[in-house]
């Protein structure tokens, strides 16, 4: 059975790049929730219309809508693997995902956490203020999700590695 892989990481650690490379290397489905939401909005679905209102008011979309979308996505998976980029974003989303996966023959997601040296992260941002804002957002919102997966997490140092080297290291660690 193919796996469900979650790629999480510190700001600018290469989550999107590595998620795409990983999905391509494994012939898995690539899922970026921002793209899923965008598609829902473009198709004027019920969730899309609701999400658009939140986006237009610069308000975070509530977990319940992400959970509805992810439920449909996970339930409709056959035997295919999937790589989620930057999802789940909250503990509620992580718990819901675990519940949906458990209902699919006790599946569990593998969390790949890309860690980037703070000095390198700072150098990738335009300003120290921008870095502080993003790092605070990570510490407040994303770090609890990373901690939630502590027993099922592969932590990889993303600093000073090419995309290919990092992808190869991830592939080795998840041993597919």
- Read off the CATH number of the domain in which 58 is found: 3.40.50.300
Report the domain count for the chain: 1
Rounded to whole angstroms, the Cα distance separating 75 from 100 reads 7
Give the model confidence (pLDDT) of 75-97 as tens digits: 777 767 899 998 998 999 999 99
List the chain residues with pLDDT less than 70.
1, 79, 104, 106, 176
Give the model confidence (pLDDT) of 97-114 as tens digits: 988 887 767 578 899 999
- Backbone conformation region of residue 110, classed left if phi is above 0, alpha if psi is from -120 to 50, else beta: beta
Rounded to whole angstroms, the Cα distance separating 101 from 92 reads 14
* Residue ranges making up the domain that contains 53: 4-174
Residues 6+ apart with CB under 8 A from 139: none
Q: What percentage of the chain carries pLDDT values higher than 70?
A: 97
């Amino acid at each position: 059975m193919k796996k469900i892989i979650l790629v999480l990481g510190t700001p600018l650690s290469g989550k999107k790049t590595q998620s795409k490379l990983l999905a391509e290397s494994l012939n898995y489905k690539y899922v970026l929730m921002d793209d899923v939401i965008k598609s829902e909005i473009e198709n004027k679905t019920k969730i899309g219309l609701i999400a658009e209102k939140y986006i237009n008011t610069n308000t975070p979309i509530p977990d319940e809508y992400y959970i509805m979308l992810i439920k449909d996505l996970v339930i409709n998976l056959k035997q295919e693997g999937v790589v989620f980029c930057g999802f789940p974003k909250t503990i509620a989303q992580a718990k819901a995902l675990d519940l949906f996966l458990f209902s699919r023959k006790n599946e569990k997601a593998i969390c790949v956490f890309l860690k980037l040296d703070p000095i390198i992260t700072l150098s990738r941002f335009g300003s120290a203020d921008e870095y502080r804002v993003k790092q605070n957002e990570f510490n407040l919102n994303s770090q609890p999700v990373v901690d939630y997966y502590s027993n099922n997490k592969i932590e990889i140092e993303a600093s000073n590695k090419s995309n290919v080297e990092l992808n190869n290291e991830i592939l080795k660690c998840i041993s597919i």
